[in-house]
Amino acid sequence: MELLLDILFNGVAIGSVLLVAALGLAIVFGLMGVINLAHGELMMVGAYTTYVTQLVFKLPLLKPYYNSYLIISIFLAFIVSGVVGIILEKTIIRKLYGSPLETLLATWGVSLILQQFVRSVPLAYGAGLIISLVLALFIPTLFPLKIKDSINVKYYNLSAWIISAFSGVLTASWISSSISRLSRPDSRNVDVTAPAWMRGQIEILGTNFPKTRLIIILITLISVIAITLFLNQSAWGLRIRAVTQNRQMSDCLGISTEKVDILTFGIGSGLAGVAGVAVSLLGSVGPNVGGNYIVGCFMVVVLGGVGNLLGTIIASFGIGIMTDLIGAGRLLTIWPQMPLPLATTIDFFATTSMARVMIFTLIVIFLQFKPTGLFPQKGRMVEN
């Protein structure tokens, strides 16, 4: 019983990391048909955001609120990764709708640039740049309609840009002067430490569970619920679904498909940022942190059936539980008297990387029987 609970918990913990990481990917891939290989790097951006937030909250000014930095960094990571995603959409992805293979290659290029960016640019400057970009995107939305229609709009835009740039430079110089660690480029891995209340273990049903794992599960749960509610209950969610179903018709009905594209991609990217917060709690953060997850995320999406949130959830937990079962050699514990050849085989796969080999192989075998995943899209339009 205890063992079963253990497997279930570990599986769910592994699965929830996968799920929160795959969630944004599932949205971007499922709703927009974009293969975003930079998704892992958007996670990395989220993880670094957590790291910077943590350091900022160690400053005397914010020290009293240090315990709550993680909650704030979830929102910040969502915004930062979301804004990076929006810029990506506005500059590159937009030109490539309808050709997923091209998005795959272009976003790979973006991922290389983002990786090298955090290696060779001081994080303080990065933070400043992000502040400028957020403001530059945000301020023009505050203009009243009257200004937007007038001919003077370019002056307003210009002033908005100047304010944004100025705030960015200010932030960058403030951070780099007050936190010397962030003023130099640093390609080594960094560590995010959870605040004291999140460290240690908690006892449930006689078993000890690490608190960080529970928090990750919680983050995942909230993200899934929020995104489900947003897509199914809100007006913008309806618009997003409408554009997914029939872009031209939605356009004719007065839905701004451009805004919907930005929003969808922004949310998908923002979720990657949230996943980055979760990932930063598990180990050290480095430029390659996202790359470790990306293939697993795509496996989740393909296994679950593209464009199906429920499938994504089941697939991530399925993969999570299987990883624990195989990777930790659990079957041997469950059934100690198993015949020797079988035991050797299981032993052979009882490491994290070999478990991956086994699981990917199982997925490929599974796709032999259900090529479109657990929950395929149906109907006559599928072929096209």
Partner 1 sequence: MSLNRLNLNKITTLSIWIILIAVIIAAPTILPVFRLNLLGRYLSLAIVALGVDLIWGFTGLLSLGQGIFFALGGYCAAMYLQITSSSEFPNNIPEFFALYGVNNLPFFWEPFKSPLFTLIAIWLVPALIAGMLGFLVFRNRIKGVYFSILTQAALLVFFNLFNGQQKLINGTNGLKTDVTQLFGQMVGSESIQRLFFWITAILVIAAWFFSKWVVKGRFGNILIGIRDDEPRVRFTGYNPVIFKTIIFSIAGGLAGISGALYTVQSGIVSPQFMTVPFSIEMVIWVAVGGRGTLLGAILGAVFINYAKSLVSEALPASWMFIQGGLFILVVTALPEGVLGWMKGDGPRNLLQRFGFKRKIETYPSLEVNNKEEN
Partner 2 sequence: MNNKSLLNLIDITVSFEGFLALNKLNLNLLKGELRAVIGPNGAGKTTFLDVITGKVKPTKGEVIFKGKSLIGRKEHKIARLGVGRKFQSPRIFENLTVKENLEISVTTPKSPLNLINKKIKNDQLDEIERLMKIVNLSQRVNSKAGSLSHGQKQWLEIAMLVGQKPDLMLVDEPVAGLTDEETDLTADLLKSLSGENTVVVIDHDMEFIRRLESNVSVLNQGTVLCEGTMETIQKDKKVIDVYLGRPED
Site string for partner 1, 44-83 (x = CB under 8 A): ----------------------------------------
Q: Contact 42/117 with Cβ under 8 angstroms?
A: no
Kindly state the smallest distance separating residue 59's Cβ from partner 1, in Å. 30
Residue 378 binding partner per list partner 2, partner 1, none, with a CB distance cut-off of 5 to 8 Å that depends on partner kind: partner 2
| DSSP code per residue over 157-177 | HHHHHHHHHHHHHHHHHHHHH
* Position 328 contacts partner 1 (CB under 8 A): no
* Position 382 contacts partner 1 (CB under 8 A): no
Residues 6+ apart with CB under 8 A from 95: none
Q: Contact 51/328 with Cβ under 8 angstroms?
A: no
Q: Of 320, 317, 376, 305, whose CA–CA distance to 29 is shortest?
A: 305
Residues 6+ apart with CB under 8 A from 79: 134, 270, 273
* Position 379 contacts partner 2 (CB under 8 A): yes
Site string for partner 2, 199-238 (x = CB under 8 A): ----------------------------------------
Nearer to partner 1, 276 or 296 (CB): 296
* Position 378 contacts partner 2 (CB under 8 A): yes
Query: Computed from CA positions of residues 146, 147, 151, 152, in that sequence, does the dihedral angle turn out positive or negative?
Result: positive
Distance CA 58, CA 64 (A): 9
Q: Which of 344, 368, 378, 379 binds partner 1 (CB under 8 A)?
A: 368
Q: Contact 126/61 with Cβ under 8 angstroms?
A: no
Kindly state the smallest distance separating residue 358's Cβ from partner 1, in Å. 9
List of residues contacting partner 1 (CB under 8 A): 35, 92, 95-96, 100-102, 104-106, 108-113, 115-116, 119-120, 291, 295, 298-299, 302, 351, 353-354, 356-357, 360-361, 363-364, 367-368, 371, 383
